[in-house]
Amino acid sequence: MTATGAYDPSAYEPFAVTVDLAVLTVRAAAPHVLLIRRGQEPYAGAWALPGGFLLPRESAEEAARRELAEETGLPESLVDGVHLEQVRTYSDPDRDPRMRVVSVAFAALVPDLPEPVAGGDAAQARWVPLAEAEAAALAFDHDRILTDAREQVRAGLEHTCLATAFCPPEFTLGELQAVYETIWDTGLDRPNFRRKVLATPGFVEAVPGGARLTGGRGKPAALYRAGPATALHPPLLRPEDPR
């Protein structure tokens, strides 16, 4: 901006500003996205990303977190910890047929947990496999938002520690590897993955007391928590040729 000249109300046009959320998770070895079914025109009956208008004294980040709580029915304590990052802002003049709407898109990374409770004005909310969501025709320009969000998260796994955002507070290295394999749609060598993660300081830290996860088949795995690191140096590059 912010207006470089005098404050002349005729110099600008008022817009509606919204947030759109690509809420991503990993369940059943496949990436999923939270979609809501629209109840009203336009695009009534179509699937769309959750989102909504900014309140008068609310930043886009605050609005995103509020909408996330409303549309998923998650308790506020959980929503507070969710990893939320801006994707980009969509401002095509014709993206909403009703009026001029500028939308700030966010990607939210959540662990696999609850079936969503349709709240707010969403007629229906559901976890949809990402492949299915991208094949469907979503409302507005949500196809593109979803594609951009997916690509941002895919790339982010290479250079940042945000894969842990998909995991519960305590997790095994096998679960962490499954996140990478699911989001990248590729296979990774288990010993090599382990070596790389443990060699990156601050990526994960062992749960004290030698806690292990039992109950599955196979040898019990050690439990880890997300460490203080945020970036990966050097990066964890995804293989060139997918599985």
**In contact, 19 and 54? CB cutoff 8 Å:** yes
In the window 133-192, what residues touch a second copy (CB under 8 A)?
139-140, 155, 159
Choose among a second copy, DNA, none what residue 174 binds, the Cβ cut-off being 5 to 8 Å by kind. Answer: DNA
Residue 175 corresponds to which tokens in the numbers above? Answer: 């679960």
Instruction: Tell me how crowded residue 204 is: count the other CB atoms within 10 A of its CB.
Output: 22
Shortest separation between residue 196's beta carbon and DNA, angstroms = 5
CB-based contact 76:85 (threshold 8 Å): no
Q: Say which residues have a Cβ less than 8 Å from residue 144's Cβ, sequence separation at least 6.
A: 90
Which of the residues 130 through 189 are near DNA (CB under 7 A)? 172-174, 189
**Closest to DNA by CB, 6 or 29:** 29
The set of residues, in sequence order, having a beta carbon less than 8 Å from that of 139 and lying 6+ positions away, is 38, 42, 43, 46, 47, 48
Q: Is 221 in the site for DNA (CB under 7 A)?
A: yes
Which entry of DNA, a second copy, none binds 219, CB below 5 to 8 A by partner kind?
A: DNA
Listed in sequence order, the residues at least 6 apart from 6 whose beta carbon sits closer than 8 Å to its beta carbon are none
Residue 30 in contact with DNA, rule: CB under 7 A = no
Phi/psi at 101 (5° precision): -125, 125
- Binding partner selected for residue 115 from a second copy, DNA, none, CB under the kind-specific 5 to 8 Å limit: none
Q: How far is the CB of 203 from DNA (least distance, A)?
A: 12
Q: Which of 93, 191, 208, 228 binds DNA (CB under 7 A)?
A: 191
CA atoms of 18 and 142, how far apart (whole Å)? 13
CB 23 within 8 A of CB 51: no
Binding site for a second copy (CB under 8 A): 1-7, 11-20, 36, 38-40, 48-61, 86, 88-89, 91-93, 95-96, 98-104, 120-122, 139-140, 155, 159, 233-235, 237, 240
Binding site for DNA (CB under 7 A): 172-174, 189-192, 194-196, 199, 212, 214-222, 234-237, 239
